[in-house]
Amino acid sequence: MNNAATKKDGQGQAGLIRLGGLAIILGLAIHVILNSVVKTFPPENPTVTELQAYLSNEAGAWAIVHGFRYIAFTCIVLFAGGLFSRTCCTRTGSTTGWGVVGLLGTAMFVTNGMITNGVETLAFLNISLLSEQQGLFWLLFRLTRVLFTAEIVTWSILILGFSVAGWRSATIPRWLAAFGLLNVFAGLLSGCFIVSILTEGWATIFIDVASLTGLVWFACAGVYMLMRGES
């Protein structure tokens, strides 16, 4: 009886891990499609007429972006749950603390993303006001840049927690954990030099590296969870 219950629990855990892997791959696909295909950024130094045309033409596309982002946030939560189960529950070891760090990073990441989404939604709900006040539009636009940097820092905390937990418990490959720590280093530097990033100075290299390595880490972790959910 106990063996049957244990086997059932193991199957449920493996299912959660694989669901988390599938979820992050879906979330990444949504992210890439939304940012590469659906949305476009405003032109540099637009006139009032050009800004009005941009806001009017892109309102529908950005509404799609803002809606689908909530699906991506759900995918992140499922991924974190599966990764916590993988790194902290499948083998014995004192990794729960680091797993909790990963969950806290997830909570901050999703919260920051929802704030960013809300700011952008507010901007496009007030097209008539913003199109007449370019200063207000660019203030909100630059605020999302600040929030994007914060997003990179928070996902680095997520990656830090689960990378260390996976390293200590040997539940993810050492190369993936080490690659995650590279992302953490670049992500934290992005936060330290945010002024240079906002002015498009020399520190933009840090956020570019953190963005790229983070996406690659999520993709690799997702594929690994799909392949090795039970062991």
Average pLDDT per consecutive 10 residues, the chain (231 residues; last block may be shorter): 49 85 95 86 74 78 88 96 89 80 96 87 67 68 81 94 93 95 94 86 92 95 85 57
Distance of CA 143 to the CA centre of its chain: 18
Question: How much is the pLDDT for 3?
Answer: 53
Please indicate, yes or no, whether the overall pTM of this predicted structure exceeds 0.75.
yes
Question: How much is the pLDDT for 217?
Answer: 97
Question: How much is the pLDDT for 133?
Answer: 67
Question: How much is the pLDDT for 155?
Answer: 93
Question: How much is the pLDDT for 6?
Answer: 47
Question: How much is the pLDDT for 197?
Answer: 85
Question: How much is the pLDDT for 104?
Answer: 97
Q: Which residue in this structure is represented by tokens 């803002």?
A: 66
Question: How much is the pLDDT for 82?
Answer: 94
Question: How much is the pLDDT for 128?
Answer: 60
Please, are residues 16 and 81 in contact by the beta-carbon 8 Å criterion? yes
